[in-house]
């Protein structure tokens, strides 16, 4: 901030007399000095002092405005720095949230894949159960057929609903043909051939 300058009238007079009068643009001062009018010179100096005081006050105001402007600029710079830091923090938060969302999406995708696998397994199990049920039903039908058409004892005696057949070893093939003529299932014929049982 500028310091106030105090003008000494005696020094001003000495300076003016020691300086060439042609250097002054203010002819009123020149005229006053030439006429040796001390009262006019004093009045003029007082007026100059007043003007200097006004200028000094104005300079002080300008200095104050400059200081205020400097403070405002500093505050603005601090605010901008804070805002930049906030933006960086927000950017970091957004990146973190984006990564979290990506992680969640990945987990959701994995769960969807697992759900698809589970659905496929369930579908396969349902198909398998259906096939097993079909096979089981077929076994039940075969079992019912056997129960309706013959019974077997531990002695190797098979009794059909149409009667008991006595099959000797030498007559096995002939009797098998007889069984085939009765339209017995191939499972029974193969079982009889493999076991070589005698039907008495």
pTM > 0.95: yes or no: no
Reported as a pLDDT band with limits 50, 70 and 90, residue 23 is: very low
Cα distance between residue 14 and residue 33, in whole Å: 11
CB 7 within 8 A of CB 45: yes
pLDDT at res. 170: 42
- How much of the chain, in percent, has pLDDT values that exceed 90? 0
- By three-state DSSP, how is residue 11 classified? helix
- By three-state DSSP, how is residue 109 classified? helix
Helix (H) or strand (E) run with residue 184 in it: none
């Amino acid at each position: 901030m500028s310091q106030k300058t105090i003008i000494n009238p005696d020094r001003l007079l000495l300076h003016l007399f020691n300086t060439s009068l042609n250097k002054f643009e203010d002819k009123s001062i020149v005229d006053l000095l030439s006429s040796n009018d001390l009262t006019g010179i004093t009045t003029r100096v007082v007026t100059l002092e007043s003007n200097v005081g006004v200028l000094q006050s104005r300079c002080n105001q300008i200095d104050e405005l400059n200081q205020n402007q400097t403070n405002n600029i500093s505050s603005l710079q601090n605010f901008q720095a804070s805002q930049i830091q906030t933006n960086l923090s927000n950017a970091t938060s957004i990146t973190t949230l984006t990564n979290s969302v990506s992680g969640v999406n990945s987990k959701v995708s994995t769960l969807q894949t697992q759900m698809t696998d589970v659905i496929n397994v369930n579908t396969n199990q349902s198909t398998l159960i259906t096939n097993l049920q079909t096979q089981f039903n077929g076994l039940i039908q075969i079992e019912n057929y056997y129960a309706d058409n013959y019974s077997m004892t531990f002695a190797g005696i098979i009794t059909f609903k149409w009667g008991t057949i006595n099959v000797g070893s030498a007559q096995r093939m002939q009797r098998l043909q007889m069984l085939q003529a009765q339209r017995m299932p191939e499972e029974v014929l193969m079982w009889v051939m493999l076991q070589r049982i005698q039907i008495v």
